[in-house]
Amino acid sequence: MENLLQQLVNGVAWGSIYALVALGYTMVYGVLKLINFAHGEVYMVGAMTGYYTARALGFAQEPSGLGLAVVLLAAMATCAALGATIERVAYRPLRHAPRLAPLITAIGVSLLLQNAGQLLLGADPKFFPPLVASREALRFGALAVSNIQLTVLATAVVLMAGLELVVMRTRVGRAMRAVAQDADAAALMGVPVDRIIQLTFLLGSALAGAAGILVGLSNPKIDPLMGLMPGLKAFVAAVLGGIGSIPGAMLGGLLLGVVETLVAGYLSSTYRDAIAFVILIAILLYRPSGLFGAAQQEKV
């Protein structure tokens, strides 16, 4: 029983990182109907930015709340800029091209970032500086929850709440929802579609950057190839929750984290990565709109 509870705790903490990355996917897919394959690499850039910023500003030696805040902001800003650039350079020219072209371009950008990362930053794994001292925060018998796991969960929740606020309660958010629903109609209503799409990328990428910092805190080994698998799995999480739905992405991420952890713990870690895809296929077959998505009508 203790084992199970521990696995659940692990799964939720791990899943909150998927949730943050999934948000970026779901938002971009909502407005562009595009799977942004390069999103996983944006997450990697976030972690790397955090690493170099912490070292440059001298936060690497000891844990500090200020250090965490600064590094988080730096990573989010850098990733926002990166995301917007990718959109402008690689996706916008292909807005009206056949469906496969932007998908291929996204893959190209992903490969480019991975290999450039290896070349410029070195292929060796780096140790993310301990900006938060690792301590046991809670203990119930054998069940151990570290303060880092709590920090990760708390930060993720705050960011997600913030995003939900922006999307549901502001004009800009309304514009984003309009573009996601019907870009042409939104344009006719005077919504600056291009700028809204850029903003979507900006926000989604900033969240991915934050995820990169959080994963650096809880699993402090980072390297240029770290974004590939988590990126794909975060997409699965987005689909699980209902692509285009923000609460869906959050729930999907947490759920995926828990399932993955349980499978790795009770069945075999061999299937840890595979289970995400099994879930994807099952969801797409039996409930393609995901947990929270609206059922899509196929227009003839």
Give least dist CB 208 to other proteins, A. Answer: 16
Find residue 75's DSSP bridge partners. Answer: none
Give least dist CB 183 to other proteins, A. Answer: 17
Q: In one letter, which amino acid is 58?
A: G
Range 110-129, binding other proteins (CB under 8 A)? 111-112, 115-116, 118-119, 122-125, 127
Name the token pair of 145.
């929850």
236 is an interface residue for other proteins by CB under 8 A: yes
d(CA 282, CA 284): 6
289 is an interface residue for other proteins by CB under 8 A: no
Q: Quick check: 204 and 76 in contact, CB under 8 A?
A: no
Stretch that binds other proteins, among 5-13, 151-159, 176-184, 198-206 (CB under 8 A): 5-13
Q: Which of 72, 80, 234, 264 binds other proteins (CB under 8 A)?
A: 264
Q: Which is nearer to other proteins, 164 or 273 (CB)?
A: 273
Give least dist CB 236 to other proteins, A. Answer: 8
d(CA 46, CA 222): 10
Q: Assign residue 128 a region: left if phi > 0, alpha if psi is -120 to 50, beta otherwise? A: beta
d(CA 26, CA 13): 20
Range 166-225, binding other proteins (CB under 8 A)? 215, 219-221, 223, 225
Helices and strands, number each (H, E), in the chain: 11, 4
Find residue 221's DSSP bridge partners. Answer: 127
Q: Which is nearer to other proteins, 64 or 118 (CB)?
A: 118
Range 23-82, binding other proteins (CB under 8 A)? 33-35
Give least dist CB 165 to other proteins, A. Answer: 29
